[in-house]
Amino acid sequence: MKIIHSSDWHLGAVLHEESRHPEHIKFLQWLKELLRDEKPDALIVSGDIFDTYSPPNASQELYYSFLGEIASQKICGKIVIVAGNHDSSALLDSPEKIMNHIGVKVVGAADIEKESIVLIGKDGRPGLAIGAVPYLRDADVRLSSAGETFAESSERLRAGIKRHYDELARRLRESAGDGVPLVMTGHFFLSKSKLSDDVSERTRSVGGIGEICLDLLPAADYYALGHLHIPQALGGNEFCRYSGSPIPMSFAEAAQKKSLAIIEFGPNPGLRIMPIPCFQHLEQIKGSTEKIVSRIKELLCASSDVWLELQVDEHEGSLADFWSSLPSLVEGSAVKILARQDMRPHQAWGSRGGDDRPLDTIRPEDVFKMRLEYENLNDEEKAEFASIFKEIVKDIDLKEVQEGQIL
């Protein structure tokens, strides 16, 4: 059997107020053609379908239209979608009956019975077992205890994750039988993984855990992972892989080569990496003001369609005149300056002017971390306070979602 593994579409995302919708349209059109060529038995999407709990109507329409077209054209045997930390499990689960009718299995909230999927081969026997595990929240897996410490809470959470995966793997092996390949999904930060940055990859945690080890999880023939945007295999094992996001989600990902994975099971199992075209060029330009202007002029001469992030790391005095000169430089071209930063070493972050660091790149965690530096705390105490703060922010985010606000 053959599967295609994708993840982290982030439909509805914006980059410094620029919509990514045109890129997502092009990506899903490209993916549809890939499915037509490959005719896989399953497409697995490992979370973060949408960028927020309340995605724009246009993004929802794009999502449902894509699924409807794939189903009507019968170019993919089964589509398996799990929720990520950016997704509303309720939103994804709501059209369950319609989705099942067109051959799409969506798992928004953790539910071992719904996560257990067995694909039947052409010979009428089980050909592939899929454990479709969504993003696991604290309430899904941890048995809490009054008065427990942070370390005890984390350990209970790890035990809950292990218990969930072990039980799912056991059920699938029993229902599919020995020798049937097992694919497990996951949406979390796995130890020793590579991060693009801490802005686009908003949180490393599963519940309250910063990261988990692969040893915690049961053996499988392939782990289809989501959450991190860099396509990568873990520990040299090509069959444990983050597919990565199909488009760069921040300027830190501007130079990344995006891809997805095609996996075949059987007597001669194999894995191919399929490069994804770049649908909108991004570029970071870092250096002196002279170097930045020179590079912008090169892009203008080449008539480039590019979005830029500028990082000045060498200049004497104020940057106000430099910043104000840039709009006229690129006016009337396809070059857009979306972000700018003063990266000069002597500039203390807290003393920079408002025009030096875009407000939308500053996270609450950044401010809290700076505040901790003023306290007489050891590293362990700082880590514990930071973890508590993240839980508070998470609770606030959840409350906003429940009140109908967009994260």
The better pLDDT of the pair 61, 317 is held by: 61
User: How much is the pLDDT for 279?
Assistant: 97
Ordered strands of the 281-288 beta sheet: 281-288, 306-314, 335-342
User: How much is the pLDDT for 194?
Assistant: 66
Please state, in angstroms and as integers, the Cα–Cα distance from residue 320 to each residue in 20, 352, 355, following that order: 29, 12, 8
User: How much is the pLDDT for 6?
Assistant: 98
Angle at 189 between CA 184 and CA 190, to 5 degrees: 65
Question: What is the chain's mean pLDDT, rounded?
Answer: 86
Q: Is 18 helix (H, G, I), strand (E, B) or coil?
A: strand
- Give the rounded percent of residues in the chain with a pLDDT score beyond 90: 66
Mean pLDDT for 103-107 is 96
What pLDDT, in 10s, does the model give residues 165-202? 999 999 999 999 988 999 999 998 887 666 655 444 54
What pLDDT, in 10s, does the model give residues 216-270? 899 999 999 999 999 999 877 899 999 999 999 999 999 999 999 999 998 888 9
CA distance 258 to 168: 31
Helices (H), 85-231: 89-93, 96-101, 112-115, 138-141, 150-176
Does the structure show a pLDDT above 50 at 46? yes
* Dihedral of the alpha carbons of 59, 60, 65, 66, in degrees to the nearest 10: 70
Helices (H), 302-343: 320-330
Residue 375: Cβ within 10 Å count? 9
